[in-house]
Amino acid sequence: AQPQIEAVLEDIVHKPYTGPEHKLTPLVNEHVGKYSKYVFEPVESGDGNWQLAHEDGDMKVYRRELEEDGVVVDPLKAQHIVKGLSAFEMCKYFFDKDTRLDWEGTVESFKVLDKLADDSVVFHQLHKRVWPSTQRETVFCSHICMLTNAPRPENMVGHTWMVCNFSMEHPSVPITSKMIRATLNVGLVCQTIINRQVEPGQESSITRDDVSCKIIYAANVNPGGWAPPSVVRTIAKREITKFLKKISSCAQKAVLEQPLTL
Ligand code: H13
């Protein structure tokens, strides 16, 4: 089945949410192009290297154990289903910096370095100290877009949406010895699932009660600098689980009073 899956993933195309193009458009396209396919590579039926690390209701967290130069860089993938909101609403909530600190438990503070377009922003983040050692910082570009031709789960309505966050360097924040620069590449892909039959042309009758958001979240984290592998693995599993639970409940609350946007 592998060549078939590869052919399907090859067809995925991403469309900018708002545009226009900017100086990092080629870099964004490169990352989104790769990540939009990687996120959909199956974990259950794949090569067997993915292990289910945590399961809690609709949430599943998988990891592949990997070390580079003695540093743990386990790829992580998680799936979750959140009731009462659409794929677009979830991605927009994850992308929106103004509500980030409501749910983001790993960040102490952040700064916008570059607003490239409404759909592409470069950030510098200071992370909370999780070890009794040096604090981590990250510089990354965050991009929101729509994916076309992505594999559609059963009972899906509307479009597939994605936020791609990738580490990069930026001249205004050189790497110093005061902090360790961690690097992450993250893809959050969301699709809206409907729990009742809707006749063609009746889509405007869909309400919040009818929908759930299916999330696939993939993260490749390099903590930078050495830390005991078992500690990194414990923290990574704990943080990704906490993150998914927290963003889900915060996003549900945030959209509650608003009309559904598919
Ligand atoms: O995705 C998460 N947060 C984003 C918004 O703050 C930023 C993140 C990103 C940061 C820096 C570079 C690129 C992307 O996408 C939530 C992160 C949840 C935690 C995932 C697992 C953390 C593992 C930590 C391992 C020890 C350092």
Q: Is the dihedral of CA 106, 110, 112, 118 positive or negative?
A: positive
Measure the CA–CA gap between 119 and 181, rounded to whole angstroms. 25
pLDDT of 130: 74
The helix (H) or strand (E) run that includes residue 89 is helix 87-95
Nearest-CA residue for atom 27 of ligand 1: 223
Q: Are 35 and 218 in contact (CB under 8 A)?
A: yes
Q: How far is CA 196 from CA 6, 50, 157, 192, 210, in A?
A: 31, 33, 11, 12, 7
The answer, yes or no, to whether any atom of ligand 1 lies below 6 A from the CB of 138, is: yes
Report CA(176)–ligand 1 centroid distance (Å): 20
Read off φ and ψ for residue 146, nearest 5 degrees. -100, 145
* pLDDT tens, position by position, 157-178: 999 999 999 999 999 999 988 8
pLDDT of 34: 95
Nearest-CA residue for atom 10 of ligand 1: 184
Q: What string of H, E and C letters represents the secondary structure of 177-228? A: CCCEECEEEEEEEEEEEECCCCCCCCHHHCCHHHEEEEEEEEEEEECCCCCC
Residue 251 is encoded by which pair of tokens?
């996003």
Q: Are 75 and 221 in contact (CB under 8 A)?
A: no
- pTM across the whole model: 0.95
Cα–Cα nearest to 78, from 193, 213, 234, 237: 237
Q: Identify residue 214 by its one-letter amino acid code.
A: K
For a mutational test of ligand 1's pocket, the pick from 92, 101, 106, 134, i.e. the residue with the most ligand atoms closer than 8 A to its C-beta, is 106
The answer, yes or no, to whether any atom of ligand 1 lies below 6 A from the CB of 221, is: yes
Nearest-CA residue for atom 12 of ligand 1: 184
* pLDDT tens, position by position, 72-104: 999 999 999 999 999 999 999 999 999 999 999
pLDDT of 70: 85
The answer, yes or no, to whether any atom of ligand 1 lies below 6 A from the CB of 187, is: no
Report CA(184)–ligand 1 centroid distance (Å): 6
The answer, yes or no, to whether any atom of ligand 1 lies below 6 A from the CB of 13, is: no
pLDDT of 3: 65
> Which residue ranges of the chain lie beneath pLDDT 50?
1
Report CA(157)–ligand 1 centroid distance (Å): 29
Measure the CA–CA gap between 180 and 196, rounded to whole angstroms. 49
Q: How far is CA 39 from CA 7, 78, 133, 150, 201, in A?
A: 15, 10, 32, 10, 31
Query: Measured at the alpha carbon of residue 261, what is the angle toward residues 156 and 90, in degrees to the nearest 5?
Result: 75
